[in-house]
Amino acid sequence: MLNIVLFGPPGAGKGTQSTKVIEKYNLIHLSTGDILRAELAAKTELGIEAKKYMDAGELVPDEVVIGMISSKIDENKDSKGFVFDGFPRTQKQALALDRLLKSKNTAISMMLSLEVEHNELIKRLLNRGKDSGRADDRNSEVIEKRIKVYNSETTPVIEYYDYQNKYKSIAGMGTIDEIFNNLCVAIES
């Protein structure tokens, strides 16, 4: 299996690039942010509980997202692999993911981390906020909070994969196609 963690700060292009990667390599896209927003739209208990954290730009508790990912992996047993987008976001989630994949006799192949300048992140997210309907894109305070949480709580995940020799830094500035090309080179090398 080809199992990729597509990593990077809010607005780095994880969702945009995941769509292209899954199409080219025939993989399943698992985005915890998308799953949580779907739960919210369906007004499930999980969605309503998660909304508090999401609107504030904070992380939803590890147990909640780990449980979600576990059932999605089970639902797609026969796939060629997964692109994990927005997960893992803590070392605890990374450890849980390794355990889950091990129980399916597979593992993470690589972690691709999109590097994008701070000002570009803000620009992309405020621009999307005009029509995305995402409450967490609407004001720069929440956007800054999400980036802060990424820097403090999520960047330690890089060390986790670097230790396993799976971390690759990817230039995430430029056009969508240029960045996609950078990802394909890394995937195939």
Which residues of this protein are in contact with ligand AP5, per CB under 6 A? Answer: 8, 10-16, 32-33, 36, 53-54, 57-60, 65, 86-87, 89, 93, 124, 128, 136, 146, 175-176, 179
The interface region with Mg ion, picked from 14-22, 61-69, 144-152, 168-176 by CB under 5 A, is: 14-22
CB of 89 to ligand AP5, least distance (A): 4
Cβ proximity to ligand AP5: between 12 and 183 the closer is 12
5-14 as b/e, with b when 16 or more CB fall inside 10 Å? Answer: bbbbbbbbbb
Residue 36 near which of Mg ion, ligand AP5, none (CB within 5-8 Å, type-dependent): ligand AP5
Task: Look at residues 42, 26, 9, 129 and name the one whose alpha carbon lies nearest to residue 76.
Answer: 26
Owner of token pair 């995940």: 157
Give CA–CA dist 89/165, Å, rounded: 18
Supply the minimum distance, in Å, between the C-beta of residue 26 and ligand AP5: 20
Whether the CB-CB separation of 8 and 168 falls below 8 Å is answered with no
* CB closer to ligand AP5 out of 58 and 162: 58
Q: Which is nearer to Mg ion, 14 or 146 (CB)?
A: 14
Partner residues linked to 29 by β-bridges: 83
- Per CB under 5 A, 15 contacts Mg ion: yes
Residue 63 vs residues 55, 75, 87, 93, 119: alpha-carbon distances, Å: 19, 19, 12, 8, 32
Nearest residue to ligand AP5, by Cβ distance, number only: 33
Closer to ligand AP5 by Cβ: residue 78 or 134? 134
Rg (CA), the chain: 16
**Which one of Mg ion, ligand AP5, none interacts with residue 32, CB within 5 to 8 A by kind?**
ligand AP5
Nearer to ligand AP5, 78 or 126 (CB): 126
Cα 91 to Cα 47, 49, 66, 76, 139, distances in angstroms:
23, 22, 12, 24, 28
